[in-house]
Amino acid sequence: MRLKTPSQPLVFCFSGVSPLCGAVEKLYDIYPDARASLCLHKTCYYVAVFCRLSMRGKVRGTLSEYGKFIGPSGVLYSFCEEHGTFITHDAVTELGAAFRKD
């Protein structure tokens, strides 16, 4: 069975730069092809991860170690992006690769 529309992104909230960097680095390790948008709203960083249904549990478990899982909500993330500061639509590739320890 195939979905006609993509599933809702998983939205996470991070209280600072350090937890955000750790989460993005870990996400890059487990799922480097994930598309993730990043924005800053008030004092928190919000990440919306668009991933395959088969990866949702692993992504949620991994990123929940670093920040708060808000839920599958594209609307909430869009609100934060609109009223906050947009940073990137490709956080995993842009930030995750930079933090990789090789």
Indicate the average pLDDT of the chain: 89
Distance of CA 85 to the CA centre of its chain: 15
pLDDT at residue number 27: 92
Residue 55's nearest CA partner among 36, 38, 37, 70 is 36
Q: Which residue has the higher pLDDT, 4 or 16?
A: 16
Res 48 pLDDT > 80: yes
State pLDDT tens for residues 53-76.
888 999 999 999 999 999 998 899
Angle between helical axes of 17-30 and 56-63 (0-180°, round to 10): 150
Res 102 pLDDT > 90: no
pLDDT at residue number 95: 85
pLDDT at residue number 33: 86
State pLDDT tens for residues 73-100.
889 999 999 999 999 999 998 887 777 6
Q: Give the three-class secondary structure for 10.
A: strand
The mean per-residue pLDDT over the stretch 39-55 comes to 93
